[in-house]
Structure 1
């Protein structure tokens, strides 16, 4: 069974999921946004599993038909074929089930007026709850569509990884090894907020600790060994 650390971003997505049954009349869309690697997708997938939410991750090549088909497949309903019929299938199910719909990689939707209007139709037709996830410029991109932008109740900035988060990741990515505070602090510093980079480095520390026979590792033990920073390698002289 896959472990999920209770990081800050997971906590704030959980909070929105718990309040999906909002006061009547309030908008029902939330937007989680932030740089790649901040753990937005992982947090949202965990919440989808906990709350039986519907989760789809957009792709660059998707059309409006593809999006509707993927949502229906996630719901477990056979698509009827035409766009209006599939839209009705989705809005009816969301309205009845009151389950949260999560759409990841929502930046792809902002490439098309028609795609944005389709997602707004899903929201308006169901009056349900929708969580969209994208990169750090998502709020600015959505300003082009005032009728959509004004329906966002919560703008949720994803927070960069903290030392507390890193401590929670150690048992998952570096089990059996005590990572000293100075090394953890260094990992967070070079990650530039990215949960993914911390996870990669913890795995690397685990592998090295196994080869060196370390049960505990800090900066003194790690020394000048390289760590993953996300920077592209430089060409040799």
Structure 2
């Protein structure tokens, strides 16, 4: 029988949430002479953004999720909006505003989807913000983010820790069950099958659990194992083959 694992404020306390929290804590509690930026990276679907938003609430961090269209000015405006500060007109003025708030408040900054800022060549802007504030900054990005940042030696050298997001595990899946399949007990053999098909993605596990819950609602299952599930389809992320 599956044991329901504890949740934190309605969020399953899976491995990547803990890794994200520990990464930011390292930056916050670092000694004075150590760099203050940390980077968590991994494939899409590993739950990095969900972990980051939860950690932002836990740590009272300012949180922004970068967009592909952001310019340097748009980036600073988004950060200042998150801080509740009315932006001044120029990029240097806005940079000073954001840095002053970070330094004064002592609150960390989380930048999600950092790859977009690398692609827009806004990396030095974030370095300037860090240098001016010495704030703890957590960067969240895709699997290739560390390689992208290697091109920026002065930025790369200010990363205190590189934290690879981990693929979803069976234990993670058990913690996710109360959120996505609360009214059916999913046996370990079916959970293991779901984890294997999901190729490390927390998102795919969640989708599959909702599919199992829907099927359970339709069939009246209270408990379902791999044998009961049978040959029913599960979500793998692949588009279905066309049948003509």
TM-score band by shorter chain is: over 0.9
Matches within 5 A, 1:33-72: 33-72=41-80
Partner of 1:133: 140
Distance in 2 separating the partners of 1:221 and 1:150: 53
Distance in 2 separating the partners of 1:140 and 1:164: 30
Count the aligned residue pairs.
Answer: 236
Distance in 2 separating the partners of 1:67 and 1:47: 21
Distance in 2 separating the partners of 1:97 and 1:48: 15
Matched, 1:17 2:13: no
Q: TM-score, normalised by structure 1?
A: 0.97
Distance in 2 separating the partners of 1:112 and 1:207: 42
Matches within 5 A, 1:100-139: 100-113=108-121, 115-139=122-146
- Structure 2 unmatched runs, 5+: 1-7
Distance in 2 separating the partners of 1:165 and 1:91: 37
- Choose which of 70, 87, 96 in structure 1 pairs with 2:95: 87
- Choose which of 235, 238, 242 in structure 2 pairs with 1:231: 238
Once superposed, which parts of structure 1, at least 4 consecutive aligned residues long, lie more than 2 Å away?
16-19
Distance in 2 separating the partners of 1:125 and 1:139: 23
- Structure 1 unmatched runs, 5+: none
1:2 deviates by 6.7
Distance in 2 separating the partners of 1:165 and 1:67: 34
Distance in 2 separating the partners of 1:23 and 1:214: 55
SS in structure 1 at match of 2:11? coil
1:112 deviates by 3.3
Partner of 1:28: 36
Partner of 2:198: 191
- Taking only aligned residues, the RMSD between alpha carbons, in angstroms, comes to 1.2
